Amino acid sequence: MILEPFAPFVSSEFRVKYATEPWELRGAAALRRAVFCEEQKIFEGSDRDAIDALATPIVALSSYVVAADAVVGTVRIHEEEPGVWWGSRLAVAPAYRRVGALGQALIRLAVSSAHGRGATRFLAYVQPQNGLLFQRLHWRVIDETALHGRPHLRMEADLAYYPPFLTPEAGFAAYPRKAA
């Protein structure tokens, strides 16, 4: 009998929530560094900036059995001026990008929780290769610009599509897309 190698474990459920535990904050920082410094080489050494001092980090957590065990996605949000919120540093670990639900779930919690905190506008700079995903999620392109030496789309979410979410510390479950 020939045994097939095991497929890599993919959690059947992910928790998307505000980062509230020290290990979640460390995991979000490490994932951002891995994606934006090592993989994409947008920043050298660290991607931290002044926004981190006032931003609310959001994480997607994988779980093994019932306990969360790893940060596999992250984004941060902040209020730039009353009612005007921004999302930035959206990142999903390479091994989890094929799950298909994590980026969307992070975006949903980012916009809906800001909406619950009084957002009247929600904006983000988006890398062009991700523009179509955001458009499918009810975002519109405002203009194109360069950011950190790379092209970006300045986009705005349609808040009518994102009802206010008032319990972001608890978050919600996100499930992998079924393979077709």
Is residue 9 included in any domain, yes or no? no
Q: What is the CATH number of the domain that holds 49?
A: 3.40.630.30
pLDDT of residue 10: 53
Is residue 8 included in any domain, yes or no? no
Q: Who's near 18: CB < 8 A, 6+ residues apart? A: 56, 57, 58, 59, 113, 168, 169, 171
Is residue 77 included in any domain, yes or no? yes
3-15 average pLDDT score: 60
Is residue 3 included in any domain, yes or no? no
Please tell me the distance from the alpha carbon of residue 77 to that of residue 86, in angstroms, as a whole number: 6
pLDDT of residue 66: 64
Is residue 60 included in any domain, yes or no? yes
pLDDT of residue 1: 44
Domain that holds residue 84: 14-174
Tally the domains of the chain: 1
Q: What band does 177 get if pLDDT is binned at 50, 70 and 90?
A: confident
16-45 average pLDDT score: 97
Identity at 36, one-letter amino acid code: F
Digit-coded pLDDT (tens) for 153-175: 999 999 999 999 999 999 999 98
What φ, ψ does residue 134 adopt, rounded to 5°? -65, -40
Of the CA atoms within 13 Å of residue 163, those in its CB half-sphere come to 2
* pTM exceeds 0.85 for this model: yes
Q: What is the percent of the chain where pLDDT is above 70?
A: 90
pLDDT of residue 6: 44
Q: Check residues 8 and 67 and name the one with the higher pLDDT.
A: 67
What φ, ψ does residue 84 adopt, rounded to 5°? -105, 110
Is residue 1 included in any domain, yes or no? no
Q: What band does 124 get if pLDDT is binned at 50, 70 and 90?
A: very high
Is residue 7 included in any domain, yes or no? no
∠ CA 25-27-33 to the nearest 5 degrees? 105
Q: What band does 179 get if pLDDT is binned at 50, 70 and 90?
A: low
What φ, ψ does residue 19 adopt, rounded to 5°? -70, 120
Please tell me the distance from the alpha carbon of residue 17 to that of residue 146, in angstroms, as a whole number: 30
Is residue 6 included in any domain, yes or no? no
